[in-house]
Structure 1
Amino acid sequence: MLRFFLVFAGIAVTALSGNPKTAFADTNRFQVVDTDRAPWPAVGRLNVVGYDRIAMCTATLIGPQTILTAAHCLFDGRTGKAHRLDKLRFVAGVRRDQNSGVSSVDCVRYPKGHTYIGTPKLKDTKLDVAVVRLSRPIEVTPAAVFSPSNTKQITRETRLQAAGYRRSRKFLPTLDANCRLDGVKDGVWVTTCATEKGASGGPVFINVDNQLVVAGVLSAKLKQSRSIAVPFTKWSDMLPFDACPSSAAK
């Protein structure tokens, strides 16, 4: 269990979904990932299409029909209401005008007790994660997910790699490849990973036996070049997500 903590009580955080005006991070920290090697074809854009806008977040394919993203990406920040599922599209492995596959969404699973909060504080982000069931399989190798049995491998010295489709570069994923866990507060990770709007829901990878595995989900930005990630401990019990409930809306 991680036992180092920071004090950020009451600090408001900035959501990273892509529909508000862009607040850019230090782009010198980002490197473009222009490769089709695993796990990058599994990282993609979750688009919300409407008659007056196109919003975007990042999501990761973790099963043939399952993606992982931030919960707030599934809500309209102007109204506080969930987006209609028929307006959601996951586009895997976006590379300029190419991609690894596209699917609509059938249903969504949130953590128990989740509620949408338009202006969250740090403590509110611990449930900002969602597992989404796609309408059809996408034929790429899903990204591996961190095993809770390996918790002791994560320390303050553990290197993190945070990826996303940031608004400064919408059609190629970018990566902060050398950040770390700065502390744990209210059940979320405070990281030194740089980020900006559009990267919400993006994967935070760690290297396990020479394989990048998803250990966290980007949620929000803190001041002073810090970001918030929801760790695997908050969403691993929602997996697998092999079928929608019979009552789920289509």
Structure 2
Amino acid sequence: MRQLVFVLLLLAPCIASAQARNTALDGLDGANEALVWQAVGRLDADDVGFCTATLIAPELVLTAAHCVYSSRTGNLLEADDLTFRAGLRHGTSAAERKVSQIEAHPGYDPARGVEAQNIRHDVALLKLASPIPTHVLDPFVLYQGRFAKGPVSVVSYGRGRAELPSRQAVCRMFDQYKGVVLMDCDVTFGSSGAPVFSHRNGRGQIISVISSVGYYDGRKTSFGMVLPNLVADLKRQMRANASRPLADAKRITVNGSARRTSTDGGAKFVRPGGS
């Protein structure tokens, strides 16, 4: 029987491929090449580290839910501790905004660690303190078609490439297991929240978000989720919570007796210096 084994994002060699030159990570160092992907950015958390995130509307950013919780306490991070740096390259951003509201999907439970139920709900939506106009950055849209196996690409930041986005132009989405999407894309610390793009309809459309890596049928696999319904849930949640007084906002606190997996203390964010 084939089994899924999930672990947090760890440093590991990329999967061997007969088309190594196509699956390699390429740093987007050229200005023209980077321009296409500037709506992908680095999500920095004060004194914690970073994840990858993507602009999907002038005021909305998509990332992984585990990126908005403290790996030390299990608490939801403060919105004003988060900064989205779109298209960050060598210290310069195409646009930079603070975050004013965080909505993690209610199906994600930080106390449960890395498991299928969490991965299929590992999505968060962030509202920016002020919108990024479309004449500055063109947001990416979600792929609305049916799930289909085939080639995808990933744009992400990560350990050792914190100051420059990298793109894996061709990797493969090869299966789906109860809402968990399985891919052979090369990811590492900091790649959490990275957009997975389908290119079936011209400009890339976001088909999933990187959650974690692990093993499936004995081979290293990256895991994501099926997005459209989750993002629709988060938009409704964001509208509902925006109308509540700030004092009514509740935080999730994980007590010391909560069961955690052995990898739960791993880096969900990675510091820009790679520590």
Q: Deviations over 1:82-109 (max 9, x none)?
A: 1111211111110112111111111122
1:222 maps to 214
Amino acid at match of 1:45: R
Q: TM-score, normalised by structure 2?
A: 0.76
- Within the candidate set 171, 174, 178, 1:179 is matched to 171
Report if aligned partners of 1:159, 1:178 keep a CA contact under 8 Å in 2: yes
Deviation at 1:113, TM superposition (A): 3.0
C-alpha contact (below 8 Å) 1:13/1:119 kept by paired residues = no
Select 2:202's aligned residue among 175, 190, 210. 210
TM superposition score normalised by structure 1? 0.83
Code of the residue aligned with 1:188 in structure 2: it is V
Question: Size of the alignment, in residue pairs?
Answer: 231
Matched residue, 1:45: 42
Give the aligned partner of residue 155 of structure 1.
148
Q: SS of the counterpart of 1:197?
A: coil
Structure 2: any 5+ residue segments left out of the alignment?
A: 250-275
Question: How far 1:168 sits from its partner (Å)?
Answer: 1.6
Choose from 58, 61, 68 the match for 1:64.
58
Say yes or no: does 1:246 pair with 2:243: yes
Q: Check conservation: 1:109, 1:238, Cα contact below 8 A.
A: no
Q: Unpaired segments of 5 or more residues in structure 1?
A: 1-5, 17-21
* Aligned-pair CA distance for 1:155: 2.4
Q: Which amino acid aligns with 1:23?
A: L
Q: Is the 8 A contact 1:205 1:216 kept in 2?
A: yes
Distance (Å, rounded) in 1 between the aligned partners of 2:65 and 2:198? 22
| Partners of 2:141 and 2:3 in 1: CA distance | 28
Aligned-pair CA distance for 1:181? 1.1
Contact persistence 1:160–1:204 (CA under 8 A): yes
Is the contact between residue 12 and residue 119 of structure 1 (CA under 8 Å) also seen in structure 2? no
Q: CA RMSD in A?
A: 2.5
Return the match for 2:137 from 129, 141, 149. Answer: 141
Cα drift, residue 39 of structure 1:
4.0
